[in-house]
Structure 1
Amino acid sequence: MDARIWALAGISLVTVATFYLGYRSSRTASTTQDFLVARRTVRSRRNAAAVSGEYLSAASFLGVAGLVLKDGADALWYPVGFTAGYLALMLFVAAPLRRSGAYTLPDFCEARLGSRALRGLAAAFVVFIGILYVVPQLQAAGLAVSNILPIPTWVGSLVVTVVVIVNVFGGGMRAITLVQAFQYWLKLFAIAAPTLVLCMLFIGGGGLRGGHVTGLSEPLPPVFTEHTTLRIETPVLLEVEDTVNLVANGVVDGDKVSGSAYWTPLGSPYEVDVGTELHFYEGSAVPVVVGAPITNDLWLAPSTSGSDLVTTYSLMLALFLGTMGLPHVLVRFYTNPDGRAARRTTLHVLMLLGLFYLFPILLGALSRLYVPELLVTGSTDAAVLKLPTRIAPGLLGEILGAVLTAGAFAAFLSTSSGLVVSVSGVLSTDVLRGRVRDFRFATAIAGGAPLALAIVLRPSDISLSVGMSFALAASTFCPVLLLGVWWRKLTWVGAAVGMVVGGGLVLASLVLNTISDFTGRWAPAILGQPALITVPIAFLTVIVVSKATPARMPADLAQIRLRMHAPDGLGFVRDRAVARFGTPEERARMTDGRHRR
């Protein structure tokens, strides 16, 4: 059976399972609380699997391995940061956030600081962060589908969007909770089983062919393991360590070329235009995109240059603090019965994520040996999908590739579902009237807008795109959450100004960096990951403006803080979703001082 048929079968099975579980769960969803927070009845273990399922996105399944292939040791901060962010979330935010009784992030801002204006501003940032995060998921889905079928990349993006909208439309948070929990275990199996098989083949020598494999610790560039013809889909700047003999047809350095060419280190970098075909011979050194480690020993060692270290520290800060500001992550903690369950959920998430991230790292290292041609095209996110058939040609490789493709598709579906739910919840309650029909209308908007952007915008490294979302979350919501939970003098004016300043700086960096990509890549590296500058400025702005506006603190501050920090058993929690959307009986129980635990 052809490899494409196996992969298509895997995608189809994941899609059918997602539809079925979503339909089964949505049959019990009938109220606004079901759609927003699944009636706050999700227990810690299932919720931890659901959190992990939606958090392990395309950046985790494809992007981490692709970055390890290209950047080596420096890329290891991505899985470390993706996981460590939950430690900060568990220690400082999870339980107080749940005890606040809020049902969305903007609702927390209003509950803590008593400002409708701040709530509206927070809603705008939730929508923007959600859309910015969904776009790379849809682009990665297009990459996965176009890798197995000769169709445009937008088709895969459209398929994921339709599946997500249908599931969320049917039952909101209640519908996707079981789906996301199932998809975590599916993704873990889909990446763990092939990785273990490929590692056994590598260790046993079964994957070595032709002898043209450069050890990862050797001071040599990676080499092509077979004759390879590549078509350049986006303009690239390439550099070489050794002289490379190749055949080029297209445009290189602005000149039309057709025939044999010799690339030397003195002539680097070489600018290759879209549509150019490059043919490399077996055993030839691999050119790499400018900025990536050019030899394997440099790839294995962490960078020591000043600009790279600044970028690394900025990335660490964005990932560590950005997790607690991601709307689709925080909305999951509102579904726990109480604060203790929220903290226990976070502890389980740390274990589940730590287990998962072992495998993309191994796949990235193997990709450096067996699919080095991706360093030429810059399409390193495809490494996970292309690796199995290189190490294990034949039926085994096709099956392993199909399993990985199915897991990647599950990643697109689960993360996109969580993001669409969080954006739909905010749109339906802060822009519309909060009815079930409003939630469903908002779902169409929350899914359609990212689809349009995914088709229009140029794809980039998936983890880098997601990293910008983390920087935006760390520069906007993180200061408000941390200071809102632990600093009594925070005012809504300080929170609003800090969000505008921090978010504005990140968005300005995003715009400048995007313009730079289309006009010669002139922007400094810090604009690609600005958290090291924007997060301290955001915190400082919040503190200074709050100090200058003490009269803007809410009148019931003591009661609010008691509700967030008192033990759950004392019964101070008042669920705001019940107060706004609950039945008369539920509101009466809340008034009587009883709450569901």
Structure 2
Amino acid sequence: MSAQIWALSGVLAVTFATFLVGWRASRMASTAQDFLVARRTVRSRRNAAAVSGEYLSAASFLGVAGLVLKDGADALWYPIGFTAGYLALMLFVAAPLRRSGAYTLPDFCEARLGSRALRGLAGVLVVFIGILYVIPQLQAAGLALHNILPNVPNWVGSTVVAIVVIINVFGGGMRAITVVQAFQYWLKLFAIAAPTFIMCVLFIGHGGLRDGGATTLSEPLPPTFTTATTISVDTPVLLQVTETVKFAARGTIDDDPVNGSVYWRSGQQHKVGADTKLHFSKDSSVPVIAGAPSDNANWFAPSSTADDMFTTYSLMLALFLGTMGLPHVLVRFYTNPDGRAARRTTLHVLVLLALFYLFPIMLGALSRLYVPELLVTGRTDAAVLSLPTKFAPGLLGEILGAVTMAGAFAAFLSTSSGLIVSVSGVLSTDVLRGRVRDYRVATVVAGSVPLILAIAVRQTDISLTVGMSFALAASTFSPILLLGVWWRKLTWVGAAAGIVVGGGLTLAALVYSRVHALTGGSVPGVISQPALFTVPAAFVTVVLVSKMTPSKIPADVAQVRLRMHAPDGLGLTRDRAVASFGTAEERSRLADGRHRK
């Protein structure tokens, strides 16, 4: 009970701090520009912290460690890809995007290609990607709260996060959220770094695992239970074992009722039904989800099968190019004063992300030693939250658990805030009239719809869901951004065709994967991670259709491209937010060429 009190205290503390910081910052927001782009006055270091706070989502704080626990070396591509995507963003997109003067991603599409139809299509896609990405954040919040209060249903945590985010965005838009996200990055870094450091010190001080005996994950053995463990299986799972294991069970196994001792031989797979309880003795081998590495030697080595290789390369392409296509990431660069600041922001982000991702990798490795029972149920996303109390029973473990819980909620709040800001900006300017009142109405809609879906949709691995979001972004917006910045012959017809082809193929793969997941069927890598064929298909479609429609090249393409690539000191940037939503005085300065932000 004391562990629950500590963890709940951490959740309440970070929730109240987030609300307080957002409330204080919202008092500075009064105009549409404040709500949309924070008046273009966010400097590079604060913006870098805000970008990192927004980007380090539930997939980073919980999902990476969970994937390392389950998949081992293959999961390392996730943190590498999450970070490397900012290198492409810095080199090719960040500065020209800011100099375009746009205030949303659909606005950039219209500014570059002069098409309201393309802007509408891009707006629909921004809303869809935002909702697809925010759903796992809310679901993870429900999982986190349920982990400390088992009697509280998952929807309570999701609702708490959604309400706090809606209030903050409603009150101050981008202006308030920038301060909130910068604060939450440092909170998340502390919440994952401090417990990791302490647990590593304890591990080394004890000479390894179990009664001071040394251990290694590279041994060709399956993980084993450190204590006698009882596991409740909430949803049906297919388990495999590599060593003979005997345990007690009550429920359903292989569609047959069972209540007593069970004996599984090496190399077998068995289906465990919902509401089944399994009791394993200390040092028993741990069954794992079918398809995951079943022993530590395979866990420590990267997969070499053709399907796994395709999945890895496809994942890397999705993460590398998908980062620049995520609307909630790009919208942060519209808040920089100029293109140079946008590029510096991206460089700082690379450093901050690289620092953060060291810690969930170490936690994932420790989790395989201390909480292997999560491999049985498949709820590996709970590894970061479950590890502290299992690692250090007593007051220290409870305090460490409270710290990680606070960091997890900071991740849910910060990323959900950025997503709802980006969706609200598009809804308020493309569907409504772009006033502050419209932005607030859009905020309520942008927060409520994902909450309903998060409660209704079945939860899967957080990082896998987010990975599909990256694939969708890479297959739709990435070609438009890269070619729009660097290729003068791009047309709006080609861009629209690329969105339809790349997005359509990705969504088809998403639907196929979800249907097979519900029916228990296996999904090939070309479907679960489709970016390796959807991204090239989108690029080829954009280029071919653009070459077939040269008459659709905008008449002002030379001026627009000059504005994107000219040095900031020349003062060629024209702020489209001022032109659309600025005051009469600001519009007058813009018309006279005296507006520079």
- Matching residue of 2:339: 339
Shift, 1:177, TM fit:
0.6
| CA distance in structure 2 between the aligned counterparts of 1:596 and 1:191, rounded to whole angstroms | 40
1:411 matched to 2:441? The reply is no
Q: Is the 8 A contact 2:231 2:277 kept in 1?
A: yes
- Matching residue of 1:246: 247
For 1:180, the aligned partner's letter is: Q
- Matching residue of 1:445: 445
Q: Is the 8 A contact 1:72 1:300 kept in 2?
A: yes
- Matching residue of 1:494: 494
| CA distance in structure 2 between the aligned counterparts of 1:325 and 1:193, rounded to whole angstroms | 33
Write out aligned runs for 1:66-145 (5 A): 66-145=66-145
Q: Structure 1: 5+ residue runs without aligned partners? A: none
- Matching residue of 1:22: 22
| CA distance in structure 1 between the aligned counterparts of 2:538 and 2:4, rounded to whole angstroms | 48
Q: Is the 8 A contact 1:207 1:391 kept in 2?
A: no
Shift, 1:519, TM fit:
1.2
Write out aligned runs for 1:45-444 (5 A): 45-149=45-149, 150-205=151-206, 208-210=209-211, 215-266=216-267, 268-444=268-444
SS at match of 1:515: helix
SS at match of 1:259: strand
Deviations 1:231-253 (A, max 9, x none): 11111100001000001111111
For 1:81, the aligned partner's letter is: G
Shift, 1:214, TM fit:
5.4
Q: Is the 8 A contact 1:213 1:222 kept in 2?
A: no
Measured on the aligned residues, the alpha-carbon RMSD in Å equals 1.1
| CA distance in structure 2 between the aligned counterparts of 1:278 and 1:135, rounded to whole angstroms | 31
SS at match of 2:260: strand
SS at match of 1:265: coil
Shift, 1:522, TM fit:
3.6
Shift, 1:458, TM fit:
1.0
Shift, 1:261, TM fit:
0.5
Deviations 1:527-569 (A, max 9, x none): 1111001000000000000000000011111100000000001
- Farther off after superposition, 81-90 or 230-239: 230-239
Q: Is the 8 A contact 1:212 1:282 kept in 2?
A: no
How high is the sequence identity, in percent, across the aligned residues?
76
Deviations 1:157-191 (A, max 9, x none): 00000000000000100011111000000000000
Deviations 1:55-107 (A, max 9, x none): 00000000000000000000000000000000000000000000000000000
Shift, 1:207, TM fit:
7.1
| CA distance in structure 2 between the aligned counterparts of 1:184 and 1:513, rounded to whole angstroms | 33
- Matching residue of 2:3: 3
| CA distance in structure 1 between the aligned counterparts of 2:555 and 2:451, rounded to whole angstroms | 43
Shift, 1:457, TM fit:
1.0
- Matching residue of 2:530: 530
For 2:124, the aligned partner's letter is: A
Write out aligned runs for 1:537-576 (5 A): 537-576=537-576
For 2:261, the aligned partner's letter is: S
For 2:512, the aligned partner's letter is: L
Deviations 1:262-302 (A, max 9, x none): 01124x21001110111111000000001110110100011
| CA distance in structure 1 between the aligned counterparts of 2:185 and 2:30, rounded to whole angstroms | 26
Cα 1:210–1:262 change in 2 (3 A) is: farther
Deviations 1:191-216 (A, max 9, x none): 00000000001111177335798520
Q: Is the 8 A contact 1:212 1:223 kept in 2?
A: no
| CA distance in structure 1 between the aligned counterparts of 2:531 and 2:265, rounded to whole angstroms | 38
Q: Is the 8 A contact 2:428 2:434 kept in 1?
A: yes
Q: Is the 8 A contact 2:424 2:443 kept in 1?
A: yes
Question: What is the TM-score with the length of structure 2 in the denominator?
Answer: 0.99
Q: How many residues align?
A: 596
| CA distance in structure 2 between the aligned counterparts of 1:161 and 1:209, rounded to whole angstroms | 41
Q: Structure 2: 5+ residue runs without aligned partners? A: none
Q: Is the 8 A contact 2:208 2:215 kept in 1?
A: no
| CA distance in structure 2 between the aligned counterparts of 1:405 and 1:564, rounded to whole angstroms | 43
Moved >6 Å (runs of 4+): none
Q: Is the 8 A contact 1:254 1:271 kept in 2?
A: yes
